[in-house]
C-alpha cells in the first residue's frame, strides 16, 4: 500500500530540471530570449562546415627523422579502389600521413549522420523537449571533439571518424532540429523569420569556428613538430560546451494554446497554411511530405557540390585573370608560384563572399517567405537558380568574372535560404504539433543531397579533366546538369498541395498528445497568458550580445577575406 505521506509527496513533486514540463514558460517570459538560445547551439555545431581548416595541418602532421612530413598512407594511389585501400590502411597506421581523401570522409559522416539521427530521434525530441535534446547534442558534439583530439594525438584516424564524424554527427542532428518546433511555436506570426534566425547560426558557425581554429593553431599551439590540432580540438570543445549548455538551459516552451497578444491565426481559407495538425506517424504517408523531400533534396544537391568546390572552380575557370594576367590559363598560371598564390587568395575571398551570402540568405529569404509564401519562395529559388546556372556557364565562356561571382553569390543565398524556409513550409502543411520530428525525417533529403551533389560535381570534373578538356571548360556541362536538378525541384514544388483532411488529428487527439507532453495550460484553451512581451529589453539584449558579438567577429573576418574582390 502507498502511505498518505508518499501520496502527498507524489502529488506535490516538482518536475526534474531536464523534464519537458520544467521548461514551460511562466507569465512575464520574453519570447525573444529563445532565438539566442538556439543560436548558442547552432553557432557551435555549425563548425562542421569549417572542418576543412584542419585538413592541411593534419596531412603533414606526422614527421620523419629528417623533420619532413612522411608519405601519405595512400601514396601513389590513382584509382578509387587504390585510394580506398590506402584509407583502410590509414585507419590504424601510425607510420604514414592522412590524405585529403581519408579526411574528407568526415564531411560524409557529418551530413549523413545529421539527417539519419534527426530522423531516428526526432520523435523522442518532441517528447523529451529541446533542453534535454540540446544537452545530449552537447555531449555528442563536444565529446566527439575530445575523442578526435585523442585520435590526432595518437594518430588514429578511426578515432577521428568515430569521434567527430559519427558521434559528433549524431550531435549535429539533435542540435540542428532541437530549436525548430520550439521557435515555430513561439513565433507563429513569423515562422520563417524565427527558423531563419536559428538556422542562420548553423551557416555562421564556420565563420566563427574556422578563424578561431586557425588563430589557436597558428598563434597558440603550433610548434615546429606539432601543428597544434589536438590542442585546438580540446580548447574548442571546452568553449562549445559552455555555449551549448547555456543555450540548452535557456530553452523555454510556450503553454499549449499560447499565442502572441493581438495576433489572429490565419483564416481557414488560407489554402497553404493549415490550422490543423498531422501526426508524426502519418506525415510520411502523405504526398506532400515526399514532394517536399524532393524539393529540399534538389535545392541542396544543386548547391552543396559547387559550394564545396568554389575556390578551385574559380581558379580553373579564370586562371591568370585572377592574378592580373588574363592571357594565362590555369595550368600556365600554376607554374608561377607568385601568380598561383595570388589566385589562391582570390579563391579564398570567393569562398568568403559566398559564405556571407549563404548565412544572410538564410534569414533574408526565410523572413521574406512570411510575406511571399513558402511555395512562391521556392519557385523563386528554382526558377532564378536555374537561370543563374545557365548565366554562369555563359559568363565563364565570356570570361566575365564579376557576373560569374554575382551568380554564385545569389545561388549561395538561395542554398542557405532553402534550409531556413523548409521548417516553416512543413509547419504550414503539417501544423506545429510534430513539426520538429517531421523536419528531422525530412532532413534525410539533406543526407542524400550531401552525397548526390558532390558526386555529380567531382565525378564529372575528374572525368572531363581525364578526357583532356581544358580547365576553363570543365564546369559548363556541370552547371547545365545542376540547373536540371532545379527544374525537377520546380516540378515537385508545383505539385505540393494542402494536406488531405483525412490525415488531420482531431481536437481530442491533439489534446491527448499535449497531455502526454505535460504542457497543457489548464482550463483556458488559448490566449497570451501574459507571456511573450518585452521585446528587446535589457536581459534579451544582453543574451543576444552573447551570440551577436562572436558572430559579428566571424562575419568581419570573412568580409576581410572577401575584400580582395574590391581592391
pLDDT on residue 3: 52
Neighbours of 338 (CB within 10 A): 9
pLDDT on residue 83: 81
Q: Does residue 148 carry a pLDDT above 70?
A: yes
pLDDT on residue 31: 92
State the average pLDDT for the chain.
Answer: 89
97: helix, strand or coil: strand
Instruction: Write down the pTM of the prediction.
Output: 0.88
Identify the weakest region by mean pLDDT among 85-89, 170-174, 266-270, 354-358.
266-270
In sequence order, the 6+-apart residues with CB closer than 8 A to the CB of 392 are 404, 407, 408, 411, 479
Q: Does residue 92 carry a pLDDT above 90?
A: yes
Of residues 275 and 353, which shows the higher confidence score? 353
pLDDT on residue 528: 83
Q: Does residue 191 carry a pLDDT above 50?
A: yes
Report the percent of the chain where pLDDT is more than 70: 94
In sequence order, the 6+-apart residues with CB closer than 8 A to the CB of 66 are none
pLDDT on residue 12: 47
Tell me the mean pLDDT in the region 453-467: 86
338: helix, strand or coil: helix
pLDDT on residue 10: 45
Of residues 378 and 269, which shows the higher confidence score? 378
Q: How far apart are CA 26 and CA 258, in angstroms?
A: 11
Q: Which residues pair with 24 in a beta bridge?
A: 253
Confidence of residue 520 (pLDDT cuts 50, 70, 90): very low
Q: Does residue 93 carry a pLDDT above 80?
A: yes
Interval 257-281: pLDDT, tens: 888 888 887 665 556 788 889 999 9
Q: What angle do CA 534, 18, 172 make, to 5 degrees?
A: 85
pLDDT on residue 52: 82
Interval 193-217: pLDDT, tens: 988 988 888 988 988 998 999 999 9
Q: Does residue 524 carry a pLDDT above 70?
A: no
3-state secondary structure 385-412: HHHHHHHHHHHHHHCCHHHHHHHHHHHH
Range from 72-81, 182-191, 280-289, 495-504 that averages highest in pLDDT: 280-289
pLDDT on residue 276: 87
pLDDT on residue 15: 67
Tell me the mean pLDDT in the region 32-48: 94
Q: Does residue 9 carry a pLDDT above 60?
A: no
460: helix, strand or coil: helix
Tell me the mean pLDDT in the region 39-50: 93
Tell me the mean pLDDT in the region 22-36: 91
Q: Which domains does the chain have, with CATH numbers?
A: 20-65+82-259+534-557 (1.20.1250.20), 281-311+354-515 (1.20.1250.20)
Give the cell for residue 428: 504550414
pLDDT on residue 424: 93
DSSP class of 75 = T
Confidence of residue 553 (pLDDT cuts 50, 70, 90): very high
In sequence order, the 6+-apart residues with CB closer than 8 A to the CB of 360 are 200, 413, 416
Q: How far apart are CA 461 and CA 452, in angstroms?
A: 14
Angstrom CA distances, 143 to 41, 136, 147, stand at 15, 10, 6
Tell me the mean pLDDT in the region 89-105: 89
Interval 310-342: pLDDT, tens: 888 999 999 999 988 988 899 898 889 899 888
CA 75 to chain centre: 33
Q: Does residue 60 carry a pLDDT above 50?
A: yes
Amino acid at each position: 500500500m502507498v502511505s498518505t505521506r508518499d501520496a502527498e509527496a507524489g502529488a506535490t513533486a516538482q518536475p526534474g530540471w531536464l523534464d519537458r514540463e520544467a521548461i514551460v514558460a511562466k507569465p512575464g517570459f520574453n519570447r525573444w530570449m529563445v532565438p539566442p538560445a538556439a543560436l548558442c547551439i547552432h553557432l557551435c555545431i555549425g563548425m562542421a562546415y569549417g572542418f576543412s581548416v584542419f585538413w592541411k595541418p593534419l596531412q603533414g602532421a606526422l614527421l620523419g627523422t629528417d623533420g619532413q612530413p612522411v608519405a601519405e598512407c595512400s601514396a601513389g594511389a590513382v584509382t578509387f579502389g587504390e585510394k580506398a585501400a590506402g584509407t583502410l590502411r590509414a585507419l590504424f597506421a601510425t607510420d604514414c600521413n592522412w590524405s585529403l581523401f581519408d579526411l574528407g570522409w568526415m564531411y560524409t559522416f557529418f551530413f549523413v549522420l545529421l539527417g539519419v539521427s534527426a530522423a531516428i530521434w526526432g520523435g523522442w525530441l518532441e517528447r523529451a523537449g529541446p533542453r534535454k535534446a540540446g544537452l545530449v547534442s552537447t555531449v555528442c558534439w563536444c565529446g566527439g571533439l575530445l575523442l578526435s583530439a585523442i585520435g590526432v594525438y595518437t594518430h588514429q584516424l578511426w578515432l577521428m571518424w568515430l569521434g567527430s564524424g559519427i558521434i559528433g554527427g549524431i550531435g549535429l542532428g539533435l542540435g540542428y532540429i532541437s530549436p525548430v518546433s520550439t521557435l515555430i511555436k513561439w513565433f507563429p506570426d513569423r515562422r520563417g523569420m524565427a527558423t531563419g534566425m536559428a538556422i542562420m547560426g548553423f551557416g555562421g558557425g564556420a565563420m566563427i569556428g574556422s578563424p578561431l581554429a586557425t588563430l589557436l593553431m597558428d598563434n597558440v599551439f603550433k610548434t615546429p613538430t606539432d601543428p597544434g590540432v589536438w590542442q585546438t580540438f580540446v580548447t574548442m570543445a571546452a568553449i562549445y560546451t559552455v555555449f551549448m549548455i547555456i543555450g540548452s538551459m535557456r530553452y523555454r516552451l510556450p503553454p499549449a494554446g499560447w499565442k502572441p497578444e493581438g495576433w489572429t491565426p490565419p483564416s481557414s481559407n488560407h489554402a497553404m497554411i493549415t490550422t490543423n495538425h498531422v501526426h508524426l506517424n502519418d506525415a510520411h504517408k502523405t504526398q506532400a511530405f515526399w514532394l517536399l523531400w524532393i524539393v529540399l533534396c534538389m535545392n541542396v544537391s544543386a548547391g552543396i557540390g559547387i559550394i564545396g568546390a568554389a575556390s578551385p572552380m574559380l581558379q580553373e575557370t579564370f586562371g591568370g585573370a585572377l592574378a592580373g594576367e588574363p592571357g594565362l590559363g590555369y595550368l600556365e598560371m600554376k607554374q608561377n608560384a607568385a601568380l598561383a598564390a595570388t589566385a589562391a587568395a582570390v579563391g579564398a575571398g570567393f569562398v568568403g563572399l559566398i559564405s556571407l551570402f549563404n548565412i544572410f540568405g538564410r534569414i533574408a529569404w526565410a523572413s521574406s517567405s512570411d510575406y511571399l509564401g513558402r511555395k512562391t519562395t521556392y519557385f523563386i529559388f528554382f526558377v532564378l537558380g536555374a537561370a543563374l546556372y545557365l548565366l554562369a556557364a555563359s559568363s565563364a565562356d565570356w570570361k566575365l568574372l564579376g557576373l560569374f561571382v554575382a551568380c554564385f553569390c545569389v545561388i549561395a543565398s538561395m542554398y542557405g535560404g532553402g534550409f531556413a524556409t523548409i521548417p516553416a513550409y512543413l509547419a504550414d502543411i503539417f501544423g506545429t504539433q510534430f513539426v520538429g520530428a517531421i523536419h528531422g525525417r525530412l532532413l534525410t533529403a539533406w543526407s542524400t543531397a550531401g552525397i548526390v551533389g558532390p558526386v555529380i560535381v567531382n565525378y564529372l570534373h575528374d572525368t572531363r579533366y581525364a578526357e583532356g578538356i581544358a580547365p576553363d571548360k570543365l564546369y559548363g556541362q556541370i552547371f547545365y546538369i545542376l540547373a536540371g536538378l532545379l527544374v525537377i525541384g520546380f516540378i515537385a514544388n508545383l505539385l505540393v498541395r494542402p494536406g488531405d483532411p483525412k490525415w488531420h488529428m482531431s481536437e481530442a487527439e491533439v489534446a491527448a498528445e499535449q497531455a502526454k507532453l505535460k504542457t497543457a495550460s489548464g482550463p483556458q484553451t488559448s490566449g497570451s497568458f501574459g507571456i511573450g512581451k518585452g521585446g528587446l529589453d535589457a536581459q534579451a539584449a544582453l543574451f543576444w550580445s552573447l551570440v551577436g558579438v562572436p558572430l559579428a567577429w566571424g562575419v568581419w573576418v570573412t568580409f576581410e577575406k572577401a575584400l580582395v574582390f574590391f581592391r
